[in-house]
Amino acid sequence: MPGLVIVGAQWGDEGKGKVVDLIAEQADAVIRFQGGNNAGHTIVRDGETFKFHLIPSGILYPGKHCVIGNGVVVDPKVLIGEIDGLRKQGIDLTGLKVSANAHLIMPYHLLLDQAGEARLGKREIGTTKRGIGPAYADKASRLGIRVQDMLDEKILRQKIAAAMEPKAPLLREFVKDPSIDLHQMTEDYRAFGDRLAPYIADTPPIAWKALDAGRLVVLEGAQGALLDIDHGTYPFVTSSNTVAGAACGGAGIGPGSIDEVWGVAKAYSTRVGSGPFPTELHDAMGERIRDAGGEYGTTTGRPRRCGWLDLVALKYAVRINGLTGLVLTKLDVLTGIGPLPVATGYTGPEGARFESFPYHQSVLHRARGELVELAGWDEDISGARTVDDLPASARDYIDFIEDQLGIPVVTIGVGPGREQIIWTKAADGLRQIAA
């Protein structure tokens, strides 16, 4: 003990990277447990920019155990690019380990992701086109290629051939694409295996050892609660479980090792890709929030859809994750907007009202946020470092969220800088354990 899970509580892009980076300083190990290079975040440290898609940002602390867990799908080319980039920037990578049991994203997964979206046309999911869905599909079909397979040419070739066989009709249009030639692929992935060999490991024991020693282990999720394949807005979701429970399966630990679960949420809402979004703004206010918050994807550059804070969806995220604390990010983006609407219910088809997140897709697609208006503030809050530094109406906004969700806010983001964060008293316990 203790294990701390940090997950997205909305539709991803909540700013998990920054809080993981800050808390990683005190941790023994940081473990990514699902997703792949569909995720991404940027860390600015002493004026230098670091971009991450797969490697936990804890790697910036020399020697820290940074694990890509078995629940992640790994594009080895992307991982090697990230390793090379960090090495060029002088980062010590001795702490990096990749689970031998993690599944690989193969070139045909990328092609199938693109072709699948093209086939859906207007009904597309809006995936990141990184091959995530097809890779998880192969994992579930027992046709996946794992990281350890890259170390054995014979096994690798056999498994690639077996994985491609049932896909032949779908891959016919790409038959001339050299990236999916069996021999070439086997050669390329063997070479990736050689490059990654120093990092490939049996990773759960790293977590067990740290937990047994009473050291802090951070389990880092990607995407967010409403993109969860079971609990999100299916089919407009990612292909893995993004909720905190997935940290166990994706890292190889039991639920008893988890002490705290922090959900990360922006002070408003955003979503990329298609799917329901009950508090979405289609007007100048949506644009204003997008501009003020720099709401463009780190992985695909796509403009994010923006809307008001949705407490119905957040309450749901509290339940499906068992959140013990809320990391509220980007409060400063709302400065100057008043009044500030937040959704505490939904209106559905035929005037039906919902106070909890509706399970039915037809309802959810037509649900609109029922808004209550809170007072805004005009004061610059970017320099606030304690809750008392915030104007009264910003404090009221936080209190309202805590009351509605029934969990404490542990940190409040007031600007992009590392130091632009307020740690509330509710975070004291964990900060002390970690110290």
Active site residue 13: yes
Stretch near ligand IMP under the rule CB under 6 A, chosen from 98-106, 122-130, 288-296, 322-330: 122-130
Stretch near ligand IMP under the rule CB under 6 A, chosen from 79-87, 235-243, 330-338, 404-412: 235-243
Please pick, from the candidates 4, 110, 132, 264, the single residue that binds ligand IMP as defined by CB under 6 A. 132
Does residue 125 interact with ligand IMP by CB under 6 A? Answer: yes
Does residue 133 interact with ligand IMP by CB under 6 A? Answer: yes
SS3 52: strand
13 torsion bin: left (phi>0), alpha (psi -120 to 50), beta (else): left
Does residue 272 interact with ligand IMP by CB under 6 A? Answer: yes
Nearer to ligand IMP, 233 or 324 (CB): 233
Nearer to ligand IMP, 133 or 413 (CB): 133
Provide the pairing of β-strand 29-32 with 305-307. Answer: unpaired
Does residue 273 interact with ligand IMP by CB under 6 A? Answer: yes
Measured from the CB of residue 117, what is the shortest distance to ligand IMP in angstroms?
9
Active site residue 41: yes
Does residue 257 interact with ligand IMP by CB under 6 A? Answer: no
Residues 171-230 binding ligand IMP (CB under 6 A) are 222-223, 227
Of 21, 28, 41, 149, the active-site residue reads 41
Count of residues binding ligand IMP (CB under 6 A)? Answer: 20
Does residue 317 interact with ligand IMP by CB under 6 A? Answer: no
Measured from the CB of residue 272, what is the shortest distance to ligand IMP in angstroms?
4
Of 13, 113, 228, 332, the active-site residue reads 13
Does residue 276 interact with ligand IMP by CB under 6 A? Answer: no
Does residue 58 interact with ligand IMP by CB under 6 A? Answer: no
Give CA torsion, residues 243, 230, 78, 162, to 10 deg: 140
CA distance 266 to 308: 10
Name the amino acid, one letter, at 198.
P
Alpha-carbon distances of 316 from 263, 349, 357, rounded to whole Å = 12, 20, 6
Surface-to-core class of residue 339, CB atoms within 10 Å of its CB (0-12 exposed, 13-18 middle, 19+ buried):
exposed
Stretch near ligand IMP under the rule CB under 6 A, chosen from 7-15, 173-181, 326-334, 400-408: 7-15
CA distance 106 to 92: 28
Provide the pairing of β-strand 368-374 with 41-45. Answer: unpaired
- Go through 345-377 and write b for each residue having 16 or more CB atoms within 10 A of its CB, e for each that does not: bbbbeeeeebeebbeeeebbbbbebbbeebebb
Q: Tokens 């005190």, residue?
A: 26
Q: Are 108 and 133 in contact (CB under 8 A)?
A: no
Binding site for ligand IMP (CB under 6 A): 11-13, 38-39, 125-128, 130, 132-133, 222-223, 227, 236, 238-239, 272-273
- Residues marked active site are found at 13, 41
